[in-house]
Chain A
Amino acid sequence: MLTIIKNRVTQLVVVLFILSLFTFTLMKMAPGDPVLTILNADEMVVTEEDQAELRKKLGFDQPLYIQYGKWMFNLVQLDLGKSYMSGKPVTEELLTRIPITAELTFFAMTIMLCITVPLGVWSAKYVNKWPDQFSRILALIGASIPNFWLGLILIYLFAFKLGVLPSSGIGSYSQIILPAFTLGFTFAVVYARLLRAGLLQSLSEDYIYAARARGVKEWRILWLHAFRAAVLPVLTIFGLSLGSFLGGAVVVEILFSWPGLGSLAVDAIFNRDYPVIQGYVLLTGVFVVLTNLLVDLSYYVIDPRMKRKEEAL
């Protein structure tokens, strides 16, 4: 287990380095800089001189490798720089937004689990019968409708037509339901199909027949024997798709004015707030790599055969 962790930490450093180099270059290649936005040229008299001065102050007149070098040098000292727009340290900006997104993600995942597990089990139990068809249709819908559209439909239904939930905002539990459902649903129905496939596979294994022959109760077979094996592929895909989960959160956060990491990233991109964009990308990178590590480690807990394999090596 320790070897894995050590390997993964090295991997993390390499991934983050490549990621930062890549985003830094791409960002600088993209047109636009934050100068006119910072100077608020749409409202205030701004001269070319003012622009040049600010560009110099921000170090944009220096060659790209020096700009990157400086940023890297600061990063090694755990300094992500300051946001051009708010003037606050990027670390502070990120730290204030993380709990907000984490709250949304937590509820979205809870909703996701509440849908995935019963739906997956149900459709595996009734293969090719109507519950299975129903879950297939749901999966098709989930995979094809965009997040923002589902969000708008839900707002239309629950906020406008029924008037039981607020359309947006943050602060009370009632405000979490719609964004968390929007985010969780699309993933849930797709994962339910994966779980169903996994369950069908493991239900056809010999040890299940053996268990049945021993007279083990059906619910025990399903939940303790088959489910455990079936959940592994779901976990893998979940780890891999965490990136898209965060990506989906961006859209949902804008729609429901949820001031988390996603909306911070979107604002930063629109304003070309380079330090914040870099900070966000790095954080997302760390997060994705760590989650994958956790997923891998969870294999050992869920499936003891893995541990034995490692011991054999």
Chain B
Amino acid sequence: MKNYKNILVGMLCLVLVFIAGCSTTQNSSEKQEEKEKKVNMIFSFKAANLDPHTGFIPIRAGLTETLLKLDDKSNIEGWLAEKWETADNEKWVFEIRDDVKFQDGKKLDAESVKQSLERSIEANESLGDSLKIKSMEADGQLLTIHTTEPYPALPSELVNPYTSIVNMEAAKKDGEEAFKNNPIGTGPFKVKEFKSNQFVEVEKNKDYWAGEPKLDSAKIKFNEDANVRALALQSKEADVVYNLPAESLDTIEKDNKLRVESIPGLRAHFILYNSQSKNVKDLKVRQALDLLIDRKSVVNDIMLGHGLEANGPFNSTLPFGLDEEVSELNVEKAKSLLTQAGYKENAGGLMEKDGKPLTLELVTYKARPELPLIAQLLQSDAGKAGIKIDIKTVENADTHLVENKDWDLATYSNNTSPRGDGSYFFNTAFTETGALNVGMINIPELNTLIEKLNRTTDLDERTKLTQDASKVINKEVAHSYAVYPNIIIGMNKRIVNWEPTAEEYYILTHNMDVK
């Protein structure tokens, strides 16, 4: 018997020694890190490689930069390009900054920008379509771009991280594999170590053109599990964590070393109507449904306060968002609109026309957990107005909505202005050929405005056209916008000189510092 005991004790000791050994290594490496200024972050999406033309991690990790960027109010401003101009929207001249060097010391000029843009179009399936570049000429610091058609949205498309500028000469010399693990950009940080799908560790680029970065290094890990990210922040293993689960926020806020930032994002959760459905074809029915969305409750009860009631396709805090009032839940008005549409309340309290009660099929999906909840809330409020809503949860909404014609409405979510401009969303979600126009929306007045927007360069005019188009969408109730969800970021208070931004492109900056 003694023998078993000995074996058990032996094994236990082994495990303990193992754990102790490991934790000592961790402690000693932490001590070493204390001397240098370093931050640890955890992102929710992983990266298989660091090819800046097919992934966002290089720009987020401060490795690369684009010609133009978004400022903190989502207006477009110069970055690697100091100035840009066009006379006819087809010929564009960009003046590249004269004081920028790649991380390997090579000076940035128009020729290197040209080579980099050419590579991005070659590497990315849909980038060519959205840039519409016919040809490019490089002359010193001047880059001339000719587009295939008058294309005022070009500056907005050049904000896209996929157009990051990298030194292609170095890439050619070092080979494809080296390029994908260590792209040579112009950003404040350069790659120290990268492990596919695991982490990227970066160190400062002392010769950064906008000033020496405050941090010495940073490590960005990837983890898709929101609870693990929250625990890593609480254990101080991570300093900055993106996309926290709402239920963990209370505990994090109670920790005096941590804080939570909840900032307006660029996404909208909305109700999509099927223009082919005979039930919701009637504008009055859609108007009634719009009045049955309890936006206040969506923000407070579903988003737990981390969102903004929506009044149009674009976040109202954006320069081109609407400043109209948010429509409120109004069951009585919804009922009267249905009456105007020819419906009558039957004995069972349901609205019916020609002896048929108004029953709608609502499609929702779980990939964004708030959407099924919004669907349930609408179902309950619509019931009060005599509309019966059947909820159908599908796995892949995009395909289901395209392949089936019998649905009436759906909960949906889109990043409506990924690059400080509304044209992306209008062109994909409302035009006849747009891939995300699953409701087959075709509103002539809106089409005209989108076409006009596609031809207009002047920023003020573009803003006005975007707002006008949004108003038409609201008037025709092509979609019913419910909420603009916030981006929730947890951070350690030791992080200073840094605020998260709505577009989630510029995360590791040269100004970020630690106390």
Q: Which residues of B contact A32 (CB under 8 A)?
A: 395-396, 398-399
CB pair A39 B196 closer than 8 Å: no
CB pair B129 A45 closer than 8 Å: yes
Q: Which residues of B contact A96 (CB under 8 A)?
A: 196
Q: Shortest beta-carbon distance, A283 to chain B, in Å? A: 18
How many angstroms from the CA of A48 to the CA of B429 in the assembled complex? Answer: 11
Q: Which residues of A contact B197 (CB under 8 A)?
A: 257, 259, 263
CB pair A41 B428 closer than 8 Å: yes
CB pair B399 A33 closer than 8 Å: yes
CB pair B434 A118 closer than 8 Å: no
CB pair B428 A31 closer than 8 Å: no
Q: Which residues of B contact A143 (CB under 8 A)?
A: none
CB pair A43 B23 closer than 8 Å: no
Q: Shortest beta-carbon distance, A192 to chain B, in Å? A: 13
How many angstroms from the CA of A259 to the CA of B222 in the assembled complex? Answer: 10
The 8 Å CB contact of B126, one of A39, A86, A167, is A39
Q: Shortest beta-carbon distance, B228 to chain A, in Å? A: 5
A165 and B232 contact, Cβ closer than 8 Å, known pairs A172-B25, A257-B198: no
Q: Which of B4-12, B321-329, B481-489 contacts A (4 or more CB under 8 A)?
A: B4-12
Q: Which residues of A contact B394 (CB under 8 A)?
A: 31
- The answer to whether the Cβ of B127 comes within 8 Å of any Cβ in the partner chain is yes
Q: Which residues of B contact A118 (CB under 8 A)?
A: 4, 7-8, 11
How many angstroms from the CA of A163 to the CA of B234 in the assembled complex? Answer: 10
Residues of chain A at interface, number, CB under 8 A: 54
- The answer to whether the Cβ of A188 comes within 8 Å of any Cβ in the partner chain is no
- The answer to whether the Cβ of A256 comes within 8 Å of any Cβ in the partner chain is yes
CB pair A257 B415 closer than 8 Å: no
Q: Which of B14-22, B205-213, B301-309, B376-384 contacts A (4 or more CB under 8 A)?
A: B14-22
The 8 Å CB contact of A36, one of B195, B427, B435, is B435
Q: Which residues of B contact A50 (CB under 8 A)?
A: 126, 129, 435
Instruction: Identify the B interface with A (CB < 8 A).
Output: 1, 3-4, 7-8, 11, 14-15, 18-19, 21-23, 25-26, 46, 48-49, 125-127, 129-130, 160, 195-199, 221-225, 227-228, 231-232, 234-237, 394-396, 398-400, 403, 414-415, 418, 423-424, 427-428, 433-436
Instruction: A125-B4, A166-B237, A177-B18 given; name 19 further pairs at CB < 8 Å.
Output: A31-B399, A32-B396, A36-B435, A42-B414, A44-B160, A45-B130, A45-B427, A45-B428, A48-B435, A168-B225, A173-B22, A174-B19, A174-B23, A174-B25, A255-B225, A255-B228, A257-B221, A257-B225, A263-B197
Instruction: Identify the A interface with B (CB < 8 A).
Output: 30-33, 36, 38-51, 54, 85-86, 96, 114, 118, 121-122, 125, 152, 155-156, 159-160, 163-174, 177, 218-219, 254-257, 259, 263
